[in-house]
Amino acid sequence: TQELLAGLSTQNRPSDQPARATKTPRTATGYTVGDRWNYQVVDKQRGEVVRNYTVRVDKLLPGGRWSTGINVIYDEHGRLVETSPANGDTRRYSPHALRWWPGMAVGDKREFEVELERLPQGGTSSLQKTSSDARVVAEETVSVPAGEFKVLRIEHKGSSRNVGSYGAGTFTHTIWYSPELRNAVAQEVRS
């Protein structure tokens, strides 16, 4: 399966306008209520846009975390921690979904161990463990529908397995992360 998440709203670009007299609340890492990123999910095998979605900072939470209006929680660095969609099937990532880390530079490497707990409403919970070797491969300029962005390309290579049931696989997850925007400009997942 291949997906490419692309497209990014310019709503959260730093402004060249002078600062207003009133201060907008923001996290220590710079997220502000109203920041938003618009994405397209593209099936690369068919060359079709599968869906569009928006990630928007709707609420600032203690500890620098923030949430969207659809019950999604991110940590202080914009990494996914929990989703609770309308169907009631909660997913919790510990410590967070595979993403980026503070202070990254080209050549940096990290190992990640992530647990994903699925808590279906009225069903049996399940656990998936993921291991990933990640490295910052390059500094690049990437072009998406919202424009061109200077990014760090992060490559995760790893495997995941279900605990207590059958199911395992390998994946590569490439992220084009913009330090200026504090979020991914594009991602590609192959599993």
Looking at residue 22, its pLDDT comes to: 54
pLDDT at 19: 44
pLDDT for residue 12: 46
**pLDDT on residue 18:** 43
Could you tell me the mean pLDDT of each successive run of 10 residues in the chain, 191 residues long?
43 44 79 93 89 92 89 94 84 95 96 93 88 97 93 97 89 95 93 86
Structure token digits, residue 30: 């710079």
CA 91 from chain centre, in angstroms, equals 14
CB neighbours of residue 83 within 10 Å: 16
pTM value is 0.83
